[in-house]
Amino acid sequence: MGSLFAGRLAAAGEDVSLVEVNSAQIDAVRERGLLLTIDGKDESHVVPIGPAEIYSGFFDLVIVFTKGMHTEAAVKAASHLIGPDTLALTVQNGLGNVEMIETVVPRERIIKGMTNWPATVLGMGHVTIPGSGEVHLWPAAGGSSPQFEAVCHALDKAGLNCSADRSVDTSIWEKVSFNAALNSVAAVTGMTVGEMGDSVEAREVVFSILREALATASALGIAVDGERTRASVEYALANHRHHKPSMLQDRLSGRPMEIDTITGSVAAEAERHGVPAPVTATMARLLRLIDMGP
């Protein structure tokens, strides 16, 4: 996702720098540029890349694209690039990213949102964009501003279909509900999305988590649409049959899973607000046990 946004913004004439810690990724982008494959056509963008310490001065906008468990460390590493007017943007999966960014950037300068743009890694510094998507944003502290509108305009001009959305919390919670349901079951069982759709037992667990997550959002006063969210899960089960959700990919690769900002955060919010969520809480515990290893 970082490659997608960086490439689109660079193509639109924005001054983009990539903060990265993976040495192989850094070497690949420095050698041949950031590669995007869109509609079967390759495009390369020459952009600076490296760890945060190679940069100096203040950025106008910092976009955080790490997984949730790395958010706080990432913004702290880049804190010397965040000045009194720097804005921070998160369209990461899950909950709690705003609060982690807030350890460095005041909430008044944080923009939160949701994106459903697809991006698939083909290799180091090379991603393909297999479809289209959109971005919904709103200031974390509420209330629009010229600076916020400028960010929306820049992303929209870059072809990312960005809009200001006062009800962005609805989009965020519907997405985290979707992810908690599919990612959790896939990571615990090893099933692809299609295999889950074919299994009566797996479907029951998936939709139990979905119901609990949506009930939690409703308890928070967030106007989620249960039918719309269920339909999106059904569509994925029927049409994304060979897809391995990100938690399963992480488990298979031996990487830590993004538990506490997705399944774990839903379970925690449910407990905090007195919403029964036994399936979600149990899945979060199982995922943590798996993450701990033997």
Residue 51 pLDDT exceeds 80: yes
Neighbouring CB atoms inside 10 A of 196's CB total: 23
Structure tokens at 117: 């743009």
The CA-based angle 34-120-231, given to 5 degrees, is 140
Tokens coding 276: 């029964």
pLDDT given at position 183: 95
Q: Any idea which residue has 């490439």 for tokens?
A: 7
Task: Please say if the pLDDT value at position 26 is more than 90.
Answer: yes
Q: How far apart are CA 88 and CA 60, in angstroms?
A: 9
Top CATH class of 2-166 equals: alpha beta
Domain layout of the chain by residue ranges: 2-166, 169-292
Confidence at residue 124, expressed as pLDDT on a 0 to 100 scale = 93
Which residue type occupies 101? Answer: I
Q: Which of 50, 51, 74, 73 is nearest to 64 (CA)?
A: 74
Q: What is the CATH number of domain 169-292?
A: 1.10.1040.10
What order do you get walking across the sheet with 120-123 strand by strand? Answer: 41-45, 34-38, 126-129, 120-123
State how far the Cα of 267 lies from the Cα of 264, in Å rounded to an integer: 5
Is residue 3 predicted with pLDDT exceeding 90? yes
Query: For 78-100, what is the mean pLDDT?
Result: 96
Residue 294 pLDDT more than 80? no
- Average pLDDT of the residues in 138-157: 96
Percent of the chain clearing pLDDT 90 (strictly above) = 90
Q: Which residues contact 84 (CB under 8 A, 6 or more apart)?
A: 58
Q: DSSP assignment of 60-89, as one string?
A: SEEEE-S-GGGHHHHHHHTGGG--TT-EEE
Q: Which of 72-76, 127-131, 163-167, 212-216 has the lowest mean pLDDT?
A: 127-131
* Pair 279, 205: CB distance under 8 Å: yes
pLDDT at 130 over 90: no
189-211 pLDDT, tens per residue? 999 999 999 999 999 999 999 99
Share the mean pLDDT of the chain: 95
